[in-house]
Amino acid sequence: MPLSARSCQEGPNSGFDAHINGQHLQECLKRLLVLYCETDWKTHPHQPEMEAIYLLHNLGSAEALAHAISLPRCLREQVLVRAAMETSLAHWSGNFVRVLRNYRAFPFLLACALHPHLGQIRRHALQVLTSAYSSRNCRIPMPTLSQWLHCTDKEARDICLSYNVPLENSEVKFLKGTGDFSARQMSSVLDPYLKQALSRIDVAAVLTPDAGTAS
């Protein structure tokens, strides 16, 4: 997941295949969760984190959400699992504000798991806003939109342009029937929040947290 996020920063010429990486991650997570089911979760201190990552990696999947709901109560009530379940349920209910707010509060690996879904989440948000604020006299300032989408003003503007949402100077005009949301989703770019996190952490330490304690 950190490699996937970093590849967004390096661009399309990095040689990284996000689709293949996602498939491999999915297979590894599923095998790991099967192993967890065969033993007592209390013997695996990282299981709550892995369960949360699996749910966020599969955001919008009924199967993944059903798996989370079927977990033992003591595991479901772990902070990371509970946060991932809340985010998944918010996504199902169309509450993009809560999903994006939770994303910014997640630990690094959970944020990486959700990062590939940001484009789809923000595209859906624009669709919702186009209907909710449809008025010829209504103008939404770009800083307000960027706050709702949890991105920079430039990113918010680029997203609007990508889906042909009308702009007027530094304001957005939401009107029903405008915008082309069938257009191909924007290429993934590294979210500034995650970029900042990548710059200040030791990825090796995050991926192998127990390495320093091994005897």
pLDDT of residue 118: 93
Per DSSP (E only), the strands in 35-175 are 140-141, 167-168, 171-172
Residues 6 or more apart whose CB falls under 8 angstroms from that of 4 comprise 16, 18, 21, 22, 112, 115, 116
Pairwise CA distance, residues 16 & 8, whole Å: 9
Per DSSP (E only), the strands in 93-170 are 140-141, 167-168
pLDDT range class, residue 215, cuts 50, 70, 90: very low
Encode pLDDT of 31-50 as tens digits: 999 999 887 766 788 999 99
Encode pLDDT of 115-174 as tens digits: 999 999 999 999 999 999 998 888 999 999 999 999 999 999 999 999 999 999 899 999
pLDDT of residue 188: 67
For the chain, domain boundaries: 2-117+187-207, 119-172
Name the token pair of 127.
């669709």
Residue 186 vs residue 44, higher pLDDT: 44
pLDDT range class, residue 211, cuts 50, 70, 90: low
Least confident of 26-30, 128-132, 133-137, 192-196: 192-196
Encode pLDDT of 79-123 as tens digits: 999 999 999 999 999 999 999 999 999 999 999 999 999 999 999
Query: What DSSP line would sit under 35-72, residue for residue?
Result: HHHTS-GGG-TTHHHHHHHHHHHTTT-HHHHHHHHTS-
What architecture (CATH level 2) is domain 119-172?
Orthogonal Bundle (1.10)
